């Protein structure tokens, strides 16, 4: 962890620290909170910076600053503050609190039994349905909604992490006006005041800035405001907007359509920088499920699809490519043109970038050979031209209607976000804006393109209101800050990628008295004090009465608002086209409403596919852009903290980024050869110059990255993220301009300084060991049991010093399909959330002390420039002959009669012998008090079914034994045996590709037993005869035989020879 | 026997130099604990020792307060300085037991001059060693008693399959027997001090410690029997303690640990390190206390020879480890050996080889064995070498084992060093106190080496 002294260096913080307590504000605040709130001092209610500081330091959160040598500097300072304030708290008489049972038990609420509620989480303008586990009113864990089309039961890592953000003690907790605490009424008054000043000009000076809105009711609300203030403008800003995709679709089709792919029908997939399996696009969960479905080879080897990925950064999707071509992002267009020419798209010509001609040729041939069963996908990072080419390619390949269909966008009012933001800045600078209302996590002060100089402009607006979860960089430049609600705290609605609408229902009262976007927008309307529930419900009852399920926005309004973008072409998005739900009389609305809430979505609200015709002259509509000479810089969303909005989320900060395994920082990723040319090592700081701006960033060498290109993710380097996120990483937004939002030319110079970057896996190579096993499709067909033949020694597996145990009844086991796993890492966060795993901070990760029970091992095989990537989820292997058990001196790790390796935390004295003797090193030791025992919010977050571990003890994956026990109790109550699939481990539940399967291996009909019977099934380190219960299904790759491919891994001969030539250093 | 020392080859120099009688021996040895002088050098060294012991207290106090995380240990390297130091100290102790027990049974008379302080060294080394198994655990306040089999209402017992439990028994037995042996051996000398003490306080203290020893024939008879029994008890311990310690590693599945050669290899290493330590202590002590006539070059020479012999065994162990790595045909074993030699910690392996294999060949030379300065430096280096041997075994085996993804480096922290040097300070303190307050050489045993006693013995028969 880096020290977090932002508060100390901020002059504003100092000012408010010395400010006297505003009694009036405190009173107002108490009134506003209502109810029997316990407060212990004026400082506490006023939430002065001083008091917050006191709280913060008294209870060091998550990321243990105490362990940081630099953090200790402030020790004396903090101690003296604590001592001084200890007196303050002592004066307050604590009111008596009664512990009584429910007088009237809430329906279905049984203490100790969780309830699940359906809702939806939106990110980047697209929603995914979730089921939220609630323990006595506290949301603790998020699962996917199996019935929801975007989720299908899975979630991504952001959704998993979002529950921690809910409880984040650093969330803003009071309404403030330039640092002074104010009641909600004062906000309304200020906004009404600002509006009345606008009445003469019909809102000409009013601007509303939101994230991409996919909430029909919120959009309707905003449009109502715009109707009463016709000259006002609404700007949507997403830090990495999807403008390219919009422009590309408009070029190809004349209107903005979202291509939705059906990968289950695609035999050949060409991804033009589309990271569709993880970070990108509307529906990666859905795509990952479909993709993995086509990697299952046990029933038929011909099911296997083939994935080509052409990209500059090494993405998660790139790791799953059968043939991957790393080229500069700016070269993808010429590559796409070459393929298009070969495939025969009218008017498209081009030569593939030097060195990739054979690849383009082979891809094109393969696409043609699979006409109607092939698909081309294009990433957000590619310019509109490439999107248009992809659309044209799909049309030429007969993909439309087969492997791709076209839907309206889930965004209610799509707009060109860069242009909209540019116009806003121009308006402000021209003095045309008097009132700016910013809602949501877009954080434009941080994320706006650097050339807009948004922060400077913003200071010129007379009235600036910000509402967000955090008092972030944008809040500091606003007059008013209103804490907003987390999606688990407020009512709302949201559309997913296919248009399906979910009603977002709150799981908990706003922890910090936040106001939802609906409630804030209401203050701009003539009914300023409506609550979110009323707004959403009224919208849907009105819409049901009118027989609509989605769109209320009248056409003109759409045009007007879309026009904000400035250059909206004539054919505005057909966003208003929506499937209709049966008209519902008011009387039955309640029934429908309840069903929607229960199901988590409105059935039948999905969009119907549209007929999309690629303009015949598409080739002439696009303008070719030249590939960048020299070094190219790529900006990407971060794989774990998204666009920076999760920067204060310790779980996501500590999650190793899937490909690089880097934690707590971003870095300039570059290929080994580029590093070699520039004489750089991982950790060397380089100065990147791009478009007249300079940023100093450390290098992280990434095999498989395109040469002469560097990739840096956005969202780091924040100063107002909170105690966890402040000062982590480097602010690449400061480098990123509007002209080259995704990639541009750059020069790099070595500064000679270094910076410690911390990853969880330092070693790239698999050292020729047979831990990971793979074969090509041909080899698999010839030898389906190749994985078993890769075993080193065919020893008698029954030899053991100890007597064999008899395994009767339910015996738990797990099978992990390496052919399905994409390495997306959502399972790690699911495990963290389910099992109360602490965050340890960067310093401790640097000492190899991360606590993740489940890690994903990533290996590169083949050459450094175009390696194959293998992901291997590594939970506890739950060995039957567990080496950890026999060495424990106090029997703290013992074998259950169901075959589990149980940890008895209370008995553990912490010799760490079990960890030493674990060949997989999956045990985790609490070297220090990593768990936060004091912060009350985190107490709410924890899973009450899992012990919270203290320092000095060992822990490890339990196969989610609490879930096993819950199922067993249920089965016993119903006098039956546990059904297959009844127990789903946390990692299994979240997995979008169903790579992890858990169950009873004694039941031959169970899914896991069937997988373990697969010829691909193998145990790692089988020669140790520990008999792991976790086994793996070997990967089968399908590289194009016409192209050079890396040798498959796991072969016996490699294992014995390979470590001689490669030094232990070589792999790093 | 009587003129044995006169007519043999030059290297068979007398056990003690001529010119001593009963009175001078008593005088030289008993004068030190009974004198009122506290030499400046002794005070200076004691202050250093106390400083180290204080540092140890601080390091352990902070350790209990914060947790093992103040050290550099991690996953994969769960054991590092803690267990290295434990094995190192336990090993050092072995020389004392060997000298007092095995050499007694073999009637090696030269042991008499050095047995007392070699045994003291054993006890202090075991005390230093015992700190680590307790404090290296995550929850030492529980480990301190949960590892012992004590009856409890929950019916919980230690897990007897674990080598750590064997360790508990091995080390606690070893400590107990060593202390009893040491103390029993001191009783006649305590009586001598009691008799010579000028002050009442000293007479009382030494009188109490001498347990009423009057030197009667019956006392002597009982004494001889008790010593023999204790020597008999100690003898297997010389072999068993380090054998059990080696099981901590040999029983595991980790390449580099899982080796059948470990028990003899560890025992040889222990004796090797122990004799080096005796040399480290004896060379300055005989010089500063003017005991060259009692601890003679014969002793030094013999100890150097044992060091050489055991050192060669250790070298054989290294060779066998490398041989097994090749002969086992296990790629993991091969990689382990290769990683030891050329991995990131390769320097430690080659330093170890340089000391424990190459340097000790100098001991073949009589000239070297007779040069106390060279021997002293060599004995210190052997201490370093044996510490590195444990470092190589523990750290380089753990840091890169089966799964390349979980490989990780280990770096010690200031607290690791403070704890290690702290135990050296503790050892130094205890040893200096021993030198000052207890007869460092067994007075009555050395007297048996005098011609006078031989005459009487001959007469008796």
**Closest by CA position to A625, among listed A491, A709, A729, A744:** A744
**DSSP classification of residue B69:** G
CA A851/CA A931 separation, integer angstroms = 10
CA A557/CA A412 separation, integer angstroms = 11
Q: Do A952 and B139 touch (CB under 8 A)?
A: yes
pLDDT higher than threshold 70 for residue A40: no
Instruction: Name the residue in chain B with its Cα closest to that of A1022.
Output: B402
**Closest by CA position to A917, among listed B248, B351, B37:** B248
pLDDT of residue A16: 36
Interface test with B, best of A825, A912, A1062 (most B CBs within 10 A): A912
CA A447/CA A468 separation, integer angstroms = 14
| Fold annotation for A258-407 | Dimethylsulfoxide Reductase; domain 2 (3.40.228)
pLDDT higher than threshold 60 for residue A37: no
For the purposes of burial, counting CB atoms within 10 Å of the CB of B66, is it exposed (0-12), middle (13-18) or buried (19 or more)?
middle
pLDDT of residue A96: 63
Query: Per-residue pLDDT averaged across A809-822, rounded?
Result: 92
Model confidence at A583, pLDDT cuts 50, 70, 90, reads: low
Q: Do A920 and B403 touch (CB under 8 A)?
A: yes
pLDDT of residue A30: 53
Q: Do B78 and A916 touch (CB under 8 A)?
A: yes
User: Which residues pair with residue A1000 across a beta bridge?
Assistant: A812
**Closest by CA position to B256, among listed B357, B78, B389, B408:** B389
Is B94 within a domain? yes
Is B133 within a domain? yes
**DSSP classification of residue A1014:** S
| Fold annotation for A176-238+414-487+513-581 | Rossmann fold (3.40.50)
Count of A-B CB contacts under 8 Å: 195
Model confidence at A475, pLDDT cuts 50, 70, 90, reads: very high
* Between A791 and A865, the higher pLDDT residue: A865
CA A721/CA A727 separation, integer angstroms = 9
CA A909/CA B139 separation, integer angstroms = 5
pLDDT higher than threshold 60 for residue A272: yes
Q: Do A917 and B253 touch (CB under 8 A)?
A: yes
- Rg (C-alpha) for chain B, rounded Å, is 23
For B92-115, write each residue's pLDDT tens digit: 988 888 887 888 777 777 888 888
pLDDT of residue A553: 38
A1030-1033 and A868-874 beta bridge pairing = unpaired
pLDDT of residue B329: 82
For the purposes of burial, counting CB atoms within 10 Å of the CB of A1035, is it exposed (0-12), middle (13-18) or buried (19 or more)?
buried
Alpha carbon distances (Å) from A118 to A124, A143, A146, B368: 20, 9, 10, 84
CA A428/CA A589 separation, integer angstroms = 45
pLDDT of residue B157: 92
> Which value, to the nearest 10 degrees, does the dihedral of the CA atoms of residues A911, A916, A917, A920 take?
130
Residue B57: CB atoms within 10 Å: 13
**Cβ-count burial A407-427 (b if 16+ within 10 Å, e if not):** bbbbbbbbbbbbbbbbbbbeb
Nearest beta carbon to residue B252 from set A763, A883, A926? A883
A761 neighbourhood in chain B, CB within 8 Å: 405-406
Interface test with B, best of A661, A849, A911, A1056 (most B CBs within 10 A): A911
Q: Do A927 and B79 touch (CB under 8 A)?
A: no
Q: Do B165 and A889 touch (CB under 8 A)?
A: yes
A917 neighbourhood in chain B, CB within 8 Å: 252-254
Nearest beta carbon to residue A765 from set B147, B252, B404? B404
**Closest by CA position to A256, among listed A266, A270, A267, A241:** A241
Is B246 within a domain? yes
pLDDT of residue A55: 46
Nearest beta carbon to residue A887 from set B72, B163, B400? B163
Model confidence at A770, pLDDT cuts 50, 70, 90, reads: confident
Which of A279-288, A626-635, B283-292, B431-440 is least confident?
A: A279-288
For A1016-1049, write each residue's pLDDT tens digit: 999 998 888 888 999 999 999 999 998 888 888 8
Nearest beta carbon to residue B69 from set A889, A927, A1060? A927
Provide the residue ranges of all domains of chain A, joining segments of one domain with +. 6-90, 176-238+414-487+513-581, 258-407, 631-759, 774-799+812-1057
Q: Do B165 and A1059 touch (CB under 8 A)?
A: no
pLDDT of residue B114: 84
CA B297/CA B16 separation, integer angstroms = 9
Is B449 within a domain? yes
pLDDT of residue A66: 43
Query: Per-residue pLDDT averaged across B169-181, rounded?
Result: 91
Please give the class, per CATH, of domain A631-759: mainly beta
Q: Distance from A837 to chain B by nearest Cα, in Å?
A: 16
Is B3 within a domain? no
Alpha carbon distances (Å) from A314 to A493, A676, A864: 35, 18, 12
Q: Report the length, in residues, of chain A.
A: 1068
CA A939/CA A511 separation, integer angstroms = 13
Model confidence at B19, pLDDT cuts 50, 70, 90, reads: confident
Strand residues in A247-330 grouped as ranges (E): 258-261, 268-272, 306-311, 323-326
B400 neighbourhood in chain A, CB within 8 Å: 1064
**DSSP classification of residue A450:** G
Residue B311 sits in which domain range?
Answer: 22-144+235-455
pLDDT of residue A530: 86
Nearest beta carbon to residue A911 from set B69, B157, B164? B164
pLDDT higher than threshold 50 for residue A571: no
Alpha carbon distances (Å) from A245 to A157, A161, A255, A327, B68: 24, 28, 11, 20, 53
With helix as H, strand as E and coil as C, how does A504-563 read? ECCCCCCCCCCECHHHHHHCCCCCCCCCHHHHHHHHHHHHHHCCCCCCCCCHHHHHHHHH
Q: Which residues contact A164 (CB under 8 A, 6 or more apart)?
A: A649, A650, A651, A652, A833, A941
Q: Do B343 and A1064 touch (CB under 8 A)?
A: yes
- Tally of domains in chain B: 1
Query: Per-residue pLDDT averaged across A49-59, rounded?
Result: 47
Query: Per-residue pLDDT averaged across B165-178, rounded?
Result: 91
Nearest beta carbon to residue A1024 from set B253, B342, B405? B253
Is B114 within a domain? yes
As its CATH architecture, domain A774-799+812-1057 has 2-Layer Sandwich (3.30)
Which of A441-445, A603-607, A1058-1062 is least confident?
A: A1058-1062
Highest mean pLDDT among A26-35, A446-455, B98-107: A446-455
A72 neighbourhood in chain B, CB within 8 Å: none
Which of A403-417, A581-595, B8-22, B269-283 is least confident?
A: B8-22
For A180-237, write each residue's pLDDT tens digit: 999 999 999 999 988 888 888 888 889 999 999 999 999 999 999 999 889 899 999 9
Report the mean per-residue pLDDT for chain A: 84
B73 neighbourhood in chain A, CB within 8 Å: 912, 927
For B380-431, write each residue's pLDDT tens digit: 999 999 999 999 999 999 999 899 999 999 999 999 999 999 999 999 999 9
Query: Per-residue pLDDT averaged across A795-799, rounded?
Result: 67
pLDDT higher than threshold 80 for residue A739: yes
Q: Report the length, in residues, of chain B.
A: 461
Q: Do B331 and A1055 touch (CB under 8 A)?
A: yes
pTM here is 0.87
The token pair that represents A317 in the structure block? 């999707």
**Closest by CA position to B166, among listed B220, B240, B226:** B240
For B237-257, write each residue's pLDDT tens digit: 888 888 999 999 999 999 999
Model confidence at A793, pLDDT cuts 50, 70, 90, reads: low
Give the SS3 label for residue A1036. Answer: strand
Asked if residues A150 and A495 have their Cβ atoms less than 8 Å apart, the reply is no
For A152-172, write each residue's pLDDT tens digit: 889 989 999 999 999 999 999
The token pair that represents A98 in the structure block? 């009664």
CA B183/CA A466 separation, integer angstroms = 80
Q: Do A915 and B78 touch (CB under 8 A)?
A: yes
Residue A835: CB atoms within 10 Å: 27
What are the helix and strand counts (H, E) for chain A? 37, 38
Peptide bond into B76 cis (omega under 30): yes
Q: Do A1026 and B253 touch (CB under 8 A)?
A: yes
Q: Which residues contact B410 (CB under 8 A, 6 or more apart)?
A: B72, B73, B74, B77, B80, B395, B398, B399
CA A633/CA A735 separation, integer angstroms = 10
pLDDT of residue B445: 83
pLDDT of residue A480: 93
pLDDT of residue B460: 47
pLDDT higher than threshold 50 for residue A1057: no
Give the SS3 label for residue A967. Answer: helix
Q: Do A1059 and B408 touch (CB under 8 A)?
A: no
pLDDT of residue A1061: 36
Q: Which residues contact B199 (CB under 8 A, 6 or more apart)?
A: none
């Amino acid at each position: 962890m880096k020290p977090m002294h932002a508060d100390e260096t901020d002059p504003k913080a100092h000012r408010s620290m010395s400010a006297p307590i505003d009694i009036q504000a405190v009173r107002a605040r108490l009134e506003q909170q209502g109810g029997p709130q316990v407060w212990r001092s004026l400082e506490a209610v006023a939430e002065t910076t001083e008091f917050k500081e006191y709280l913060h330091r008294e209870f060091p959160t998550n990321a243990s600053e105490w362990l940081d040598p630099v953090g200790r500097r402030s020790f004396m300072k903090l101690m003296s503050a604590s001592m001084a304030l200890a007196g303050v708290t002592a004066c307050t008489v604590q009111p008596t609190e009664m512990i009584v049972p429910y007088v009237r038990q809430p329906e279905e609420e049984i203490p100790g039994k969780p309830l699940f509620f359906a809702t939806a989480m939106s990110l980047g303008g697209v929603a995914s349905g979730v089921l939220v586990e609630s323990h006595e009113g506290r949301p603790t864990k998020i699962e996917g909604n199996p019935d929801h089309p975007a989720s299908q039961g899975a979630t991504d890592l952001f959704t998993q992490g979002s529950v921690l953000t809910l409880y984040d003690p650093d969330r803003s907790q009071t309404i403030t006006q330039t640092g002074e605490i104010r009641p909600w009424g004062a906000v309304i008054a200020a906004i009404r005041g600002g509006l009345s000043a606008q009445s003469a000009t019909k809102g000409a000076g009013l601007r509303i800035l939101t994230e991409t809105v996919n909430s029909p009711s919120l959009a309707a609300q905003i449009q109502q405001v715009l109707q009463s203030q016709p000259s006002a403008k609404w700007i949507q800003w997403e830090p990495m907007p999807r403008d390219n995709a919009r422009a590309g679709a408009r070029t190809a089709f004349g209107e903005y359509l979202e291509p939705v792919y059906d990968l289950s029908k695609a035999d050949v997939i060409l991804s033009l920088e589309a990271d569709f399996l993880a970070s990108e696009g509307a529906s990666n969960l859905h795509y990952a499920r479909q993709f993995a479905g086509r990697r299952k080879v046990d029933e038929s080897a011909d099911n296997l699809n083939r994935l080509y990925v052409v990209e500059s950064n090494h993405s998660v999707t790139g790791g799953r490519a059968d043939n991957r071509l790393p080229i500069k992002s700016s070269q993808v267009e010429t590559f796409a043109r070459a393929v298009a020419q070969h495939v025969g798209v009218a008017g498209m010509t081009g030569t593939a970038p030097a060195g990739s001609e054979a690849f383009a040729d082979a891809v094109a041939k393969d696409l043609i050979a699979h006409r109607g069963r092939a698909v081309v996908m294009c990433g957000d990072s590619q310019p509109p031209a490439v999107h248009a080419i992809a659309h044209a390619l799909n049309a030429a390949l007969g993909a439309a209607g087969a492997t791709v269909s076209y839907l309206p966008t889930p965004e209610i009012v799509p707009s060109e976000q860069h242009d909209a933001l540019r116009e806003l800045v121009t308006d402000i600078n021209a003095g045309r804006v008097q009132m700016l209302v910013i809602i949501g996590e877009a954080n434009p002060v941080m994320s706006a393109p650097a050339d807009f100089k948004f922060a400077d402009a913003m200071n010129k607006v007379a009235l600036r209101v910000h509402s967000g979860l955090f008092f972030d960089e944008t809040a500091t430049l606003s007059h008013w800050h209103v804490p907003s609600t987390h999606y688990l705290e407020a009512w709302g609605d949201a559309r997913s990628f296919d248009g399906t609408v979910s009603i977002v229902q709150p799981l908990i009262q706003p922890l910090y008295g936040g106001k939802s976007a609906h409630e804030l927008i209401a203050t701009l309307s003539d009914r300023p004090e409506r609550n979110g529930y009323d707004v959403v419900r009224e919208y849907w009852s009105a819409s049901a009465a009118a027989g609509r399920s989605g769109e209320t926005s009248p056409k003109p309004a759409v045009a007007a608002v879309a026009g904000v973008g400035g250059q909206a072409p004539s054919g505005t998005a057909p966003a208003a086209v929506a499937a209709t739900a049966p008209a519902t009389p008011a009387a039955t609305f309640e029934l429908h409403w309840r069903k929607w809430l229960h199901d988590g979505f409105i059935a039948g609200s999905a969009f119907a596919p549209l007929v999309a015709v690629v303009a015949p002259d598409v080739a002439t509509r696009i303008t070719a852009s030249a590939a960048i000479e020299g070094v190219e810089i790529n900006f990407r969303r971060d794989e774990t903290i998204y666009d920076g909005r999760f920067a204060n989320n310790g779980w996501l900060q500590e999650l190793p980024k899937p490909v690089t395994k880097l934690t707590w920082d971003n870095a300039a990723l570059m290929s080994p050869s580029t590093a070699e040319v520039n004489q750089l090592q991982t950790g060397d700081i380089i100065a990147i110059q791009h478009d007249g701006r300079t940023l100093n960033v450390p290098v992280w060498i990434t095999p498989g990255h395109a040469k002469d290109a560097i990739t840096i993710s956005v969202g780091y380097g924040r100063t107002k993220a909170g105690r966890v996120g402040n000062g982590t990483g480097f602010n690449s937004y400061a480098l990123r301009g509007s002209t080259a939002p995704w990639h541009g030319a750059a020069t790099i110079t070595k500064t000679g300084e270094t910076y410690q970057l911390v990853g969880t896996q330092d070693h790239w190579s698999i050292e020729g060991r047979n831990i990971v096993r793979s074969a090509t499709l041909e080899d698999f067909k010839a030898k389906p049991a190749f994985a078993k033949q890769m075993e080193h020694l065919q020893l008698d597996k029954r030899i053991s010093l100890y007597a064999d145990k008899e395994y009767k009844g339910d015996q738990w086991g797990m099978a992990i399909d390496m052919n399905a796993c994409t390495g997306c890492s959502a399972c790690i966060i699911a495990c963290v959330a389910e099992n109360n795993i602490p965050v340890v901070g960067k310093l401790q990760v640097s000492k190899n002390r991360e606590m993740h029970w489940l890690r994903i091992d990533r290996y590169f095989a083949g050459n450094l420039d175009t390696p194959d990537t293998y992901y291997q989820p590594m939970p506890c292997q739950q060995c039957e002959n567990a080496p950890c058990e026999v060495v424990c001196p106090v029997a703290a790790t013992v074998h259950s009669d169901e075959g589990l390796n149980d940890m008895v935390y209370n008995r553990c004295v912490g010799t760490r012998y079990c960890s030493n003797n674990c060949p997989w090193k999956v045990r985790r030791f609490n070297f220090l008090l990593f768990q936060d025992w004091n912060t009350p919010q985190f107490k709410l977050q924890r899973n009450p079914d899992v012990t919270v571990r203290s320092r000095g003890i060992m822990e490890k994956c339990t196969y989610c034994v609490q879930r096993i026990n819950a199922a067993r109790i249920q089965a016993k109550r119903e006098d039956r045996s546990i059904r297959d699939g009844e127990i789903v481990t946390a990692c299994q539940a979240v997995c979008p590709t169903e790579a992890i399967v858990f169950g009873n291996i004694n039941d031959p009909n169970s899914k896991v037993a069937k997988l373990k019977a697969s010829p691909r099934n193998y145990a790692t380190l089988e020669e140790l005869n520990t008999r792991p219960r976790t086994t793996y299904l070997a990967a089968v790759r399908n590289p194009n035989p016409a192209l050079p491919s890396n040798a498959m891994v796991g072969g016996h001969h490699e294992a014995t020879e390979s470590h001689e030539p490669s030094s232990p250093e070589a792999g790093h | 026997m009587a003129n044995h020392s006169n007519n043999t080859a030059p290297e068979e120099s007398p056990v003690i130099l001529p010119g001593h009688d009963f009175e001078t021996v008593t005088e030289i040895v008993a004068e030190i604990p009974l004198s009122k002088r506290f030499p400046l050098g002794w005070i200076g060294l004691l202050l250093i020792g106390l400083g180290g012991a204080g540092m140890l207290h601080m390091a352990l106090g902070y350790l209990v307060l914060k947790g093992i995380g103040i050290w550099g240990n991690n996953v994969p390297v769960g054991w590092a300085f803690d267990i290295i130091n434990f094995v190192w100290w336990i090993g050092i102790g072995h020389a004392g037991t060997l000298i007092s027990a095995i050499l007694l049974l073999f009637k090696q008379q030269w042991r008499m001059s050095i047995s007392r302080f070699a045994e003291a060294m054993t006890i202090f080394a075991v005390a230093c060693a015992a700190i680590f198994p307790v404090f290296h655990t995550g929850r030492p306040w529980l480990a301190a008693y949960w590892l012992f089999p004590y009856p409890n209402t929950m019916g919980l017992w230690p897990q007897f399959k674990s080598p750590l439990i064997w360790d508990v028994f091995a080390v606690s037995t070893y400590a107990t027997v060593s202390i009893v042996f040491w103390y029993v051996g001191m009783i006649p000398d305590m009586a001598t001090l009691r008799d010579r003490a000028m002050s009442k306080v000293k007479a009382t203290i030494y009188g109490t410690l001498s347990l009423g020893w009057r030197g009667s024939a019956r006392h002597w008879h009982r004494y001889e029997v008790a010593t023999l029994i204790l020597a008999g008890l100690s003898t297997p311990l010389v072999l068993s303690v380090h054998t059990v310690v080696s099981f901590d590693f040999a029983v595991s599945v980790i390449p580099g640990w899982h080796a059948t050669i470990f028990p003899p290899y560890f025992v040889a290493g222990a004796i090797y390190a122990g004799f080096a330590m005796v040399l480290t202590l004896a060379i300055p002590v005989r010089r500063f206390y003017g005991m060259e006539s009692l601890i003679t070059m014969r002793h030094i020479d013999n100890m150097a020879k044992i060091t050489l012999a055991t050192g060669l065994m250790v070298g054989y162990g290294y060779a066998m480890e490398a041989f097994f790595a090749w002969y086992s045909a296990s790629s993991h074993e091969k990689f382990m050996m290769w990683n030891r030699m050329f991995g990131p910690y390769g320097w430690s392996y080659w330093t170890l080889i340089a000391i424990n294999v190459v340097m000790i060949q100098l001991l073949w030379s009589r000239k070297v064995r007779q040069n106390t300065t060279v021997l002293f430096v060599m004995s210190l280096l052997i201490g370093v070498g044996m510490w590195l041997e444990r470092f190589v075994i523990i750290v380089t085996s753990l840091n890169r084992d089966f799964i390349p993804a979980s490989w990780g480096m280990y770096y010690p922290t200031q607290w690791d060093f403070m704890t290690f040097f702290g135990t050296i300070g503790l050892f130094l303190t205890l040893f200096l106190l021993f030198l000052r307050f207890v007869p460092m050489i067994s007075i009555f045993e050395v007297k048996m080496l005098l011609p006078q006693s031989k005459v009487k013995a001959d007469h008796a028969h």
